[in-house]
Amino acid sequence: MISTTPAYAELQVATNFSFLRGASHPHEYISRAALLGLRGIAITDFNSLAGIVRAHAAAKEASIKMAVGCRLEIDFNGALDLSAENRLSANERFSALVYPTCAESYAALCALLTKAKSQLAKDDLFLSLADFLTLKDRLLAILVPPFFQTRSGLNPVNRGINSTMALFYELCKITRDSWRLPKERLSIAITSNYGHSRDNLIQATLQIARALDIPVVATNDVYYHCPTRKPLQDLLTAIRLKTRVESAGYALFPNSERYLKAPSEMARLFKDYPQALSRAVEIFEQASGFSISCLKYSYPGEDTPGVSSSDRLRELTLSGAKSRFPGGVSDKVLKAIDQELELIKELQYERYFLTCYEIVQFAKSREILCQGRGAAANSVVCFCLGITAVNPEEIDLLFARFVSKERQEPPDIDIDFEHERREEVIQYIYSRYGRDHAALAAEVVTFQPRSAVREAGKALGLSLEILNILTNNIQSWTDYRLSADTLREIGLNPFDLTIQNTLYLASELIGFPRHISQHVGGFIISEAPLNTIVPVVNATMEGRTIIEWDKNDIEELGILKIDILALGMLTCIRKALELVNARRDSPLRLYSIPQNDSSVYDMLATSDTVGVFQVESRAQMAMLPRIKPRCFYDLVIQVAIVRPGPIQGDMVHPFLRRRNGLEKISFPDKKVEAILGKTLGVPIFQEQAMRLAITLANFSPGEAEKLRRAMAAWKSHSGVIATFKERITRGMISNGYSAEFAENCLNQIKGFSEYGFPESHAASFALLVYASAWLKRHYPAEFACALLNSQPMGFYEPAQIVRDVINHGIQVLPIDVNSSNWDCVVDYSEDNRPSIRLGLRLIRGFRRDHGEKLENTRALHGPFRSLSSLRDLVPDASLASLNTLARADGFGSLNLNRQDAHWELQSLPKNRAPLDPLFSKRANENSKPPDRSSIQGEMFKDYAATGLSLRSHPILHLRAGLNKRGCLPAERLLSKHGIKTGSWISAAGLVITRQRPGTAKGVVFITLEDETGSFNLIIRPRIFEGASKLVMLSSGLIATGLLERIGEVCYIDVRRVEGL
Amino acid sequence: MCLSFMCIYFPEWAIDVTKRKLLLKDPKAHPPSAILLTHRIANQAVVARACKVSRGLGVKSGMAASLARAIAPKGAIFEPFDPIQDASALSTLASWCLRFSPIVGLDNDLRRALSSEKNDKELLNLDPKYYGITIDLTGTERLHGDPKKLSIYFHSLFKGTGRVAIAPTIAGAWALSRYHSKAHCYCESLEELKLLVNDLPARSLRIGPELESKLSEAGIYTVGDLERISRSVLSQRFGKPLLYRLALLNGTMLEPIITASPKERFVTRRIFEPPLSSRKSIVLAIERLTSSLLDLLKQRGLSALRFTITVKDTEENTTVKDLSLASAANDKTRITPVIVPVIESIVFCGEAYEIAIEALDTVLVSPSQASFSGDKLRDHEAVNRAFNDLLNSFSLRIGRERILRAALTTSYIPERSYRYDSAITKLNSSELQTNEASHQYNLENIPVASVKERPTLILTPPEPITSIAMLPDKPPSWISWRGERLNIVSGFGPERIAPEWWRGNLSEQNALDLKLAERDYFTLQDTQGRWLWVFRANLNDTSQNWFIHGVWT
């Protein structure tokens, strides 16, 4: 029986990379095709090649053949010169499926798509017929007749089947006449989807094919891999048309026949047209001759002829080593260099490393701070080349993470640059390699739980209010489902059909690609023009081009990528170092900051970390006094451990207990101790998980790397994980470990799946933590000033940075027209005591060019003596910007308070007519309005203009009233001899930060500040429910509850909360 | 002569209007705990006006409606904000006020916004402070007596919802009615006014927010602050508009009141002395009143969609009959057949002493050329009119809600491919309907079906038949329907149609059932040439459930 079933290969498949059309992932099609026993499957997304890499990877895994294809929508109106009322409507698009058969024809397709996409608006892509016909020499093509939902067709002119088919005949004829070898390379599709006029349509198509002598081919025009996806496909259609499913009507498909069908089913449907089935297999065989693994990607060639790149790399590495290790390069390092260089040479990655070196050199020449990280970055070679600053002797690196021979995968180097100057580096790369050869990787934006619910709900007709309730409660979802109880709790009817369907479809929709956007900084550089490898599209941002493939796809294909990332802290450190070096004889550099300064660690242990990189968040601050870092490696752990992953994996507490000697540190054997020893037996880094798998469960380094990748997407592919889980457990047990130990390890590994930090990243970050902490400890004024000048960045607002620096005994001077520059500056008194002069940049709405003009004029003419002289000297400073300055109370040195300044400004002539000398005398000083400013009022205006106030703390003015209510100031709470832990107390303050992390099960963390210091609130869900509005909205709170103190930090476990 | 103006300001006008509307809808319902009016800005519902109760709880205008919902008390009612309706309600009130003085007008800013071309947008952004009425009371002392008492009278007249002030200038009365601490006040002279406005905020001069913030930056907060500064300094620093406002306040400049003109009503009314007692004379009187009303309409080139007949009898009963037409008319021959049954239905309890007939919803008659053909039925216009007259008489006999017409919808499911709409409302608001229809169907990518797609007669529900098809995709060779065996000579199909999943509950378990619930439709022709539409339900079922769903007649 089986032998009589003719073979079949599906040639018309839209994956969900045909955004909002296809309703199945590429890998779902592949595994389904393998299951059904298809000869193969071609992926033909609408006007795009975005999904083929995923499909390719899945096909490799499932060992089924797959062909690359694309469904081009052709603009026929322009070609046929149809009169206005006869024009084809948007849903009558004719399309053609095209398949490359070799690398050249694939390149032609990419180039065509690139060209079409650069010319047209994002959403309606129509390829002109002339452009389509340029493919005539190279590709296989199948012409697809339009689909008829109803007898009258789909067009507003009710053209009917016959006349639409007549137009289709025209298209076929034109194509046949210009196509090279039409009988071999051209076909016409017939489909049998149980539509309205199936038989008529097939007959009409056959007639056309016979008349033009073009063979027909059977396809099923597939939109989903199994019929149960029909509702989701309808939903996507409704979302695409921005309507509701209910009113989408005939835009939906009438039935669920567009699934991937088995060969036997196809044979039954097309039993009268066996030649159409065999044609499908024939085309597939030809098309699958090309696979994207045939792509010959190569990295740009060297520029110094005569010197091979491997020699050059060796030379640079060795000379770098000499300067890196001034005391002499140890044998161990030399050996490592040799080993790494040999591997690099073998894999031909020399030029990649040289590119990184060049980029870093460029940044250094422009004095842009940069620092590399990532797996490959933390190698001895990178250290010697100056790409990274983590000494590989201090951190032991897993070589498999560097580059592995087994998997043909590229090394991974991320380089952080100052956030304000990254653009310079990007433009350098574009100009260095040329626009045709360099582009950014894409980021495939997928439906997240929130957006999935929102869009599904909208298409099903839920009101925005209900959607808001649903999405606001998304934290309480388990596995993206809401239980009936939870629904009832949030005030929704759990049996409501639409809500249930929304949640069901949303859970299917999560993870579907939505559109393509720009990756944060992954650069692709290629020897051949990029548009011969992949379609290149314009990014939304001016002057940026992106390729159609996501960063994971690129890795899959072995295409090299360099991440050019932006990091605010680097900007801040550079600015701080500039301020510091201005007064030093020997300039300080980022990497020459003195190491192991115990005063810095003392400072960190007291959580005095406002502004310090990474460890300034509330969670980090809470952890610092417990971990009490004493050396660099402690910082590495600190950075890695206080993250959602390890917290979820419950690694923090065991680690803390062990570190504080409350729990015995034990290892099953020496092998485990070697891996987990330095982190006290708790796996914290990804490398440790990999090593565990290699040593204890007999994974090869390549497999371990696969495990790491699977971990990174633990939630999305649970199937892959299950196989790993089983392998690890089996491997460990066979090596004599207990099942319990294996289970324990697995849980911990799972914990940091999504957010886990590789050790090399943590080490790079820890360097910056130390550098910023050192600056804060020894140069608090310069550091705070640099922080203010690098805003927006980090965790705190200028107000908190300023308050913090004042608390450290540094004077902060107000903005003044005669003293402030655009940036904040550090002034020094005669006895070298620093003070910070706030800059004009802090004023909301003040223009930078006006600020700089002010600065320059002052430098030229000396300080302004009056408003009118200011106006004369800086003619460009518009009245509006002077008013803005007055609003920020910036005329103190002219003896004008805010109100007076405004009053005087009003008297200046509105347009700059020549000044009447009698003018100022006419003003009657007696009629000046009385000064009725109050300190609160002024403070309020300070906040409104600059976001901070240097006057006394707002809470100070309420203190008398607060004392009556029994509210204690923060310093009483903090003092060790004051109030006992567990006492019932009240305190009030302004809200500084407010967090409701998803990991904390609905607990809200708030930091309050009063005039004496700051303290934290923990608001548990029970309390939060009663006062959610107050907690989330008010700017000041009075909290009552139990006092808890951990080290220098104190908490109130809140039982009652009121607004201030 | 001393000038005297009264300003009445309704701080919660939009809320009051809504309250009244709700009360009219259901007089027995409990008043809601709170009322919030919302409108949409960029696809988000936003609070436009909130009642005092909800404002006290922290609801502000401009707040997202979803947030307001969380804050507002239980039982709060959310209604759409309709500023045009509010403003016209206020102008109705202004017309009513004409009985106190011949010069009554809406607040000038409100009037300007209302009469502007984009009045919906202008009104949305208008400060509620401008919802007020201005009355010129100059010289009416003789009519109303003590003006001081008049302000109290007005305050009580609006049951405390309005704030009233009388002052010698409009600007003064405006400022006092909006910002004075007392809800009603009277000031006789300009000197007194000066004292009263001294502590009012500068914005009570009706200056824009920009000027207001400029003033406050310079330390000027109250009207008194402004008065203390010399005029030349003020004009030089803050410009002429400020001086103009001050001049209005002090009466050195005057502003106009644009009198609200009452809306024209078309009523014919007669009082009978002695009252009419016989039914016959009443009917005759109504007919006469009707024909004179229709003459009135014809003179003005108008026709009306709605008429009300009010009969008051000596026993203090008022009978009101409402009469709606399918299309506007002013023609006696068309109205009489409709109005006669209505008159017949009136039950008289006693002697009628007053009868009034009013024409409502009047529209201009569009002039059209008479048909040359003479054949009235062929004239499209005439056919339409005849059809409308038919609808009129049907609706009078069986009730308008029972007259329906079928409309096409876009659904594959035959049972859902049409729906019944009320025939009369569709005609009455035909313009509205086309707008809605275009919104619903003309979505660019959604095709519309034509009637030809489906059989002319759809059987509801489909009737079971007996049939067997030899092959899954082939039409049956015979069917047995209503006891008759029909042999099939030809057939098309199948056309496979999926159920509308969104009407049921989706889950992993029933996803497959959905697939099986698809129907295969066949178009069949029997030996007598009749066309039938049959389907096979439940694809997987071997027992072959067949139904007939329609015939082409």
pLDDT attached to residue A583: 84
pLDDT category of residue B434 using cuts at 50, 70 and 90: very low
**Tens of pLDDT, residues A161-192:** 677 788 888 889 999 999 888 888 999 999 98
Same domain (yes/no): B90, B231:
yes
| Res A1034 pLDDT > 60 | yes
Reported confidence tier of residue A487, pLDDT bands at 50, 70, 90: confident
Asked if the structure places residue B33 within a domain, the reply is no
Q: Do both B230 and B279 map to the same domain?
A: no
Q: How far apart are CA B85 and CA B444, in angstroms?
A: 33
Residues A245-273: what's their mean pLDDT? 89
What part of A 92-151 touches B (C-beta under 8 Å)?
A: 149-151
pLDDT band at B381 (very low <50, low <70, confident <90, very high): low
Please indicate, yes or no, whether residues B158 and B188 belong to a single structural domain of this protein: yes
For residues A249-269, give the mean pLDDT: 89
Residues of chain A numbered 967-996 and touching chain B (CB < 8 Å): none
Mean pLDDT of A771-798: 89
Q: Do B501 and A241 touch (CB under 8 A)?
A: no
Q: Are residues B305 and B277 in the same domain?
A: yes
Mean pLDDT over A759-785 rounds to 89
Domain count across chain B: 3
pLDDT (0 to 100) of residue A921: 46
Tokens of B388: 């409308």
Which structural domain range is residue B472 located in? Answer: 457-552
- Comparing alpha-carbon positions, the chain B residue that sits nearest to A910 is B237
**pLDDT, average across residues B327-339:** 79
Q: Is residue B72 part of a domain?
A: no
Under the banding of pLDDT at 50, 70 and 90, the label for residue B542 is low
Angle between helices B209-217 and A898-907 (to 10 degrees): 120
Boundary-marking domain end, from B346, B364, B382? B364
Interchain contact B553–A (C-beta under 8 A)? no
What confidence category does residue A276 fall into, taking pLDDT thresholds of 50, 70 and 90?
A: very high
Asked if residue B237 and residue B350 are part of one domain, the reply reads: no
Mean pLDDT of the region A819-839 = 89
- B316 φ/ψ sector (left φ>0, alpha ψ -120 to 50, else beta): left
Looking at the fold, whether B128 and B204 belong to one and the same domain comes out as yes
pLDDT value at B442 more than 50: no
Query: Which of B63, B412, B454, B471 would you mutate first to test chain A, the one with the most A CBs within 10 A?
Result: B412
Tell me what percent of the residues of chain A surpass a pLDDT of 90. 18
Asked whether the beta carbons of residue A91 and residue B447 sit closer than 8 angstroms, the reply is yes
Residues B146 and B243 placed together within one structural domain of the fold: yes
Q: Is B67 a residue whose pLDDT tops 90?
A: no
pLDDT band with cut points at 50, 70 and 90 for residue A233: very high
Contacts of A230 in chain B (CB under 8 A): 498, 501, 514-515
User: Does residue B417 sit within a domain?
Assistant: no
Q: Is the dihedral of CA A754, A760, A764, A770 positive or negative?
A: positive
Output b/e per residue, B59-81; b: 16+ Cβ within 10 A: bebebbbbbbbbbbeeebbbbeb
Which are the contacts of B22, defined by CB distance < 8 A and separation ≥ 6?
B29, B31, B32, B35, B77
CA-to-CA distance for A680 and A395, rounded, in angstroms? Answer: 16
DSSP state of B314: T
The mean per-residue pLDDT over the stretch B315-324 comes to 80
- How many contacts (CB atoms, under 8 Å) link A and B? 166
3-state secondary structure B219-243: CCCEHHHHHHCCHHHHHHHHCHHHH
Mean pLDDT value of segment A843-854: 86
CB-based contact, B440 to chain A, within 8 Å: yes
Q: Is the pLDDT reported for residue A960 higher than 50?
A: yes
Residue A600: per-residue pLDDT:
92
Q: Which helix (H) or strand (E) holds B384?
A: helix B380-398
Residue ranges of A 435-464 with Cβ closer than 8 A to chain B: 460, 464
Report cis status (omega within 30 of 0) of the bond before B274. Answer: yes
The answer to whether position B66 is within a domain reads no
Q: In CATH, what number is assigned to the domain containing residue B324?
A: 3.30.1490.100
Which residue in A465, A911, A1034 has the most chain B C-beta atoms within 10 A of its own C-beta, making it the best mutation to test that interface? A465
Q: What is the mean pLDDT of residues B85-90?
A: 86
CB of A906 within 8 Å of a chain B CB? The answer is yes
- List the structure tokens of B50: 């909130």
Per CB-CB distance under 8 Å, the chain A contacts of B504 are 497
> Which residues on A lie below 8 Å from B516 (Cβ)?
none
Rg, chain A, Cα only: 34
Give the three-class secondary structure for A977. Answer: coil
Best to test chain B binding among A243, A256, A266 (most B CBs inside 10 Å): A256
- Taking residue A380's Cβ as centre, other Cβ atoms within 10 Å add up to 28
A505 near B CB under 8 A: yes
Say if CB A1055 and CB A1040 are below 8 A apart. yes
Exposure pattern of A565-589 as b/e (b: 16+ CB <10 Å)?
Answer: bbbbbbbbbbbbbebbeeeeeeebe
pLDDT band at B425 (very low <50, low <70, confident <90, very high): low
Q: Let me know whether B148 and B117 are in one domain.
A: yes
β-bridge mates for residue A162, sequence order: none
* B518 vs A: CB within 8 A: yes
CA distance B438 to chain A (A): 13
d(CA A216, CA A199): 15
Residue type, position B65, single letter: A
A944 CB near a chain B CB, below 8 Å?
no
User: Could you report the per-residue pLDDT of B262-309, keeping only the tens digit for each?
Assistant: 667 788 888 888 888 888 888 888 888 988 999 988 888 888 888 888
Listed residues B250, B282, B312: the one ending a domain: B250
Q: How far apart are CA A178 and CA A821, in angstroms?
A: 69
Question: Across the interface, do B449 and A930 touch by the CB < 8 Å criterion?
Answer: no
pLDDT band of residue A230 (cuts 50, 70, 90) is: very high
The pLDDT score that the predictor gives to residue A15 is 94
> How close does chain B come to A933, measured CA to CA in Å?
8
Q: Rounded mean pLDDT of A90-116?
A: 86
Query: ipTM for the complex?
Result: 0.71
pLDDT score of A218 more than 90: yes
B60 within domain boundaries: no
| Contact list, A497 vs chain B (CB under 8 Å) | 503-505
Mean pLDDT computed over every residue of chain B: 80
Q: Model confidence over A328-365: pLDDT tens digits?
A: 888 888 888 888 888 888 878 888 888 888 899 999 89
Residues B244 and B321 in one domain: no
Residue B494: cis peptide before it, omega within 30 degrees of 0: yes
Residue A224 has pLDDT above 90, yes or no: yes
- A984/chain B closest Cα distance in angstroms: 30
Nearest to B506 among A90, A254, A505 (CB): A505
- Whether the pLDDT of residue A573 is over 80: the answer is yes
pLDDT value of residue B57: 79
State pLDDT tens for residues A713-723: 555 555 566 77
* B230/A247 CB distance under 8 A: no
Q: Which has the minimum average pLDDT: A376-385, A744-753, A898-907? A: A744-753
Reply yes or no: is the peptide bond before residue A758 cis, omega within 30 of 0: no
B30 occurs within a structural domain = no
- The pLDDT > 70 percentage for chain A reads 87
Q: Do B446 and A194 touch (CB under 8 A)?
A: no
Strands (E), B314-467: 318-329, 352-364, 404-408, 418-422, 457-467
CA distance B549 to B545: 13
CB of B509 less than 8 A from some CB of A: no
CA distance B175 to B163: 11
Contacts 24+ apart (CB under 8 A), A967-973: A967/A1038, A969/A1010, A969/A1011, A969/A1012, A969/A1013, A970/A1008, A970/A1009, A970/A1010, A970/A1012, A970/A1013, A970/A1014, A970/A1015, A971/A1012, A971/A1013, A972/A1012, A973/A1013, A973/A1015, A973/A1043, A973/A1050, A973/A1052
B443: pLDDT strictly greater than 50:
no
Instruction: Give the distance from residue B277's alpha carbon to the nearest chain A alpha carbon, in angstroms.
Output: 58
Same domain? B224 vs B278: no
* Chain B environment of A473 (Cβ under 8 Å): none
Backbone φ, ψ for residue A119 (5° rounding): -95, -25
Same domain, yes or no: B98 and B235 = yes
Look over chain A and give the mean of its residue pLDDT values, rounded to a whole number: 82
Residue B188, SS3 per DSSP: coil
Q: What is the pLDDT of residue B146?
A: 79
Instruction: Please state the rounded mean pLDDT for residues A664-679.
Output: 79
> Final residue of a domain: which of B332, B364, B396?
B364
Q: Which of A34-48, A629-643, A966-980 has the lowest mean pLDDT?
A: A966-980
| Residue B488 resides in a domain | yes
CB B191 within 8 A of CB B212: no
Q: How far is A248 from chain B (nearest CA, A)?
A: 7
Of B218, B236, B494, the CB nearest to A902: B218
The predicted-structure confidence for A970-997, as pLDDT tens digits, reads as follows 888 877 677 788 888 888 888 877 776 6
Rg over CA atoms, chain B = 34
Asked if residue A916 has pLDDT above 80, the reply is no
Is the pLDDT at B424 greater than 80? The verdict is no
Which of A867-876, A980-989, B517-526 bottoms out in mean pLDDT, i.e. has the lowest? Answer: A867-876
Instruction: Verify whether the Cβ–Cβ distance B237 to A903 is below 8 Å.
Output: yes
The tens digit of pLDDT for each residue in A600-615 reads: 999 988 888 888 888 8
> Does B69 reside within a domain?
no
Answer yes or no: do B296 and B236 share one domain. no
Residue B476 DSSP SS3: coil
Q: What average pLDDT does this structure show over A1032-1051?
A: 79
